[in-house]
Amino acid sequence: MTRFVARALAALTLAAALAFPAMAAPVQTGHIEAELVARDQGVTPGGTVHVALRQKIQKGWHTYWRNSGDSGDATRISWTLPAGWTTGEFVWATPSRQPTGPLMNYGYQGEVLLPVAVTAPKSARPGDTVTLKAAVAFLVCADICIPEDALLTLELPVVASAPQPDARWAGPITKALEAAPKPAGLTATFVKDEGALKLAVAGAALKGADDAYFYPFKSTVIDHAKPQALERGPEGLTLTLSPGYDFTQGAPPAALDGVLSLGGKAYELSAAEGPPPAGTSGLGPPPAKPAPIAGEGLGLALAFVYALLGGLVLNLMPCVFPILAMKATSLAGHAHERSAARAQGLAFLAGVLATFLALAGVLIAIRAGGSAVGWGFQLQSPVVVAGLALLMLAVALNLSGLFEVGTSLQGVGTGLASRQGLAGAFFTGALAVVVAAPCTAPFMGPALGWALTQSAPVALAVFLGLGLGFAAPFTLAAFAPGLLARLPKPGPWMETFKKLMAFPMYGTAAWLVWVLTVQAGEMGLARVLAAAVVLALAAWVLGLAQRRQATGGKPLALATVGAVLAIGAFVLVLVPAYGVATSASAEAAPGSIPEAAYSPEAVAEARAAGKPVFVNFTAAWCVTCQVNEKVAFATAEAAEAFTRTGAVYLKADWTRKDAVIAAELARHGRAGVPLYLVYGVKSPDPVILPQFLTPAMVAKALDKARSS
């Protein structure tokens, strides 16, 4: 009985050894948890098993790839094996970029498996268990670099037949082997052209690729810190690299060997010097991709609700107030005529919705045609801004009583006047949308960015919600008898109120003239001021004609002169060839923040120099942007923060159309300005700041960027 129990225990022990090969506990090196793990539960005589070096790296730290880049050192392993056992080299996983100050390194974060093929000799005896030993040297880095070592062991049974996969590690190791870069029949060449290194690669695996990065096996062939510009072709792609030491001072290599990463996949390649393969260029750079944003996961229902709420809040913006004040004047005149007030409210709603949908439709069509534009695009045209400035001036002159709208020169009846009142309400709604559109960005940035990535019907539904929210307060007020009853009855006070409301319109006209000055410079200002004088003269002549008609005179000649002058004023601003405004002196005023013009190259250059970067996407016609300029940036606290951190301040001025800026806004899921990006010294992705800023928020973001 005792002998039977002993044999049974021995059999169970052997079965357990085969099913669960003994493994040493993971080794803690300080910043890494390291161990050896096997894909299979054993190995046959003469067979091969993949054993992986597992690294679980502490958050914020990284180890290095076979080519560590500008600094660092690759992970190294030295095996101690039983006689006759052999190993291959690491199967290196595709690395990621690890920027460190002005340097660019290549390595790994988090958890990584580096498989190695281990082959048993044919003389290995089934039933034996061998011990594999490995001394591993890591260089693990964050702000500082620390050499760390581990002595790892793995006990591996020798089995007579094909072993079973290890339940825990077979899947991850197989996945690591499948994902590792391999040759894919790519045709690759390189040529040094005007100080740049052109790497052209063709192959079926590259068709449609819109993201690529080349990791060379040798550290001295390229300047790793410089960006790699991608141009697509129908059969492949071309990367523009910056030559490294071998091409500038040393002996140029006969081949460029390395890994081409396409984001989700990676391939090994070897490029010989020579002309590029056919079809590796000609399609330009890839389209911009939206970065992850707060609105990325929005559905239609949630986006519609956000749009509705954003439209409501939009009524509080300064750019909208003058238009609504003008409409309030009209509503006050109909406050005690319920049917007329309701008609006014519905006409205003129709004007708002029609204009929102029309602008959105134009924007969707332009973007579908491949042009990079965003919400508020209408105010990027100097001609449109000049025309709106004159229109606001004309409305203000009308409210001031210089001339009247709706007073027929030929004495038509009251029915037409009534229809003109509804037309005026519709026009007011349309005008409010045109002026208010750029003010939507602070509330609607993520939702509009999401909408413009959807189908046209879905996008239009979101803009419909924005229009409903915007028009709701005025339209509901027109249908609220209790509210209307509180308004004073029509009387002489209305004339005073109407003239008072002219001054917000004068202010709007002045703001638009300032925007035009930023866009078109002194000549644009001269033209619009001249046109304003002509328009004021036209309004006075028309008013004179109307007064002459009221006393029984013949106003036709005066009316004709006034109409011609008014048309001439608008022609004066609609026809000119506005030029780009002359940029102001780049020298910063004492105590202000030194700034430079934005470009992707400027961002890359500043980051390569190890500096934080603050990018301000702004426009002269963006009211929120201008408020932030005064409240957040034009302060001693913000200036001191830029000086203390050494951050570079780049201004992306979208006052005029700029495809590069529009593409960058789209890449971050925004349809308009403002947008504030802060690039840290190490992190490859920027932090998006809120759209309303304070000096403290700017200083905190810069301090964090300096250390992250």
pLDDT tens per residue across span 453-469: 566 787 788 778 878 88
Averaged confidence pLDDT in the chain: 78
What is the residue type of 49? V
Residue 259 to residue 97: CA distance in whole angstroms: 13
Instruction: Encode pLDDT of 268-309 as tens digits.
Output: 999 999 999 998 888 877 765 544 444 444 567 777 777 777
Give the CB-side neighbour count of residue 281, counting CA atoms within 13 A. Answer: 14
Least confident of 198-212, 254-268, 618-632: 618-632
**What is the predicted pLDDT for the residue at 28?**
93
In this predicted structure, what is the pLDDT of residue 13?
Answer: 41
* Burial category of 43 from C-beta neighbours within 10 Å (exposed 0-12, middle 13-18, buried 19 and up): buried
CB-side neighbour CA atoms (13 Å) of 503: 4
Q: How confident is the model at residue 249 (pLDDT cuts 50, 70, 90)?
A: confident
Phi-psi bin for 279: left (phi > 0), alpha (psi -120 to 50), beta? left
User: How high is the pLDDT of residue 461?
Assistant: 81
User: Rounded CA gap, 211 and 421, in Å?
Assistant: 56
pLDDT at residue 320 greater than cutoff 90: no
Q: What gap in Å lies between CA 546 and CA 527, rounded to an integer?
A: 29
At residue 266, does pLDDT exceed 90? yes
| Higher local confidence (pLDDT), 63 or 398 | 63
430 pLDDT more than 80: no
Percent of all residues in the chain with a pLDDT value above 90, rounded to a whole number: 31
pLDDT at residue number 417: 31
pLDDT band at 140 (very low <50, low <70, confident <90, very high): very high
| Distance separating alpha carbons of residues 153 and 27, to the nearest angstrom | 10
Q: Three-class SS of residue 647?
A: coil
User: pLDDT, tens digit, for every residue of 559-586?
Assistant: 787 778 777 777 776 665 555 444 443 3
pLDDT band per the 50, 70, 90 thresholds, residue 22: very low
Query: Which residues fall within 8 angstroms of residue 35, CB to CB, at 6 or more apart?
Result: 23, 24, 25, 26, 27, 54, 152
pLDDT single digits (tens) 637-686: 899 999 999 999 999 988 777 778 887 887 777 767 888 999 998 777 88
User: Percent of the chain at pLDDT above 70?
Assistant: 77
Cis amide linkage into residue 674, ω under 30° from 0: yes
Of 237-251, 397-411, 413-427, the poorest mean pLDDT is in 413-427
Give the per-residue pLDDT at 682. 79
> How high is the pLDDT of residue 130?
94
The pLDDT score that the predictor gives to residue 568 is 76
pLDDT of residue 142: 84
* The pLDDT value given to residue 125: 93
pLDDT digits (tens, 9 = 90+) for 124-134: 999 999 999 99
0.75 exceeded by the pTM?
no
State mean pLDDT over 329-353: 73
Q: Residue 159 pLDDT > 90, yes or no? A: yes
Q: Which two tokens stand for residue 69?
A: 């880049």
Check residue 586 and give its pLDDT.
Answer: 39
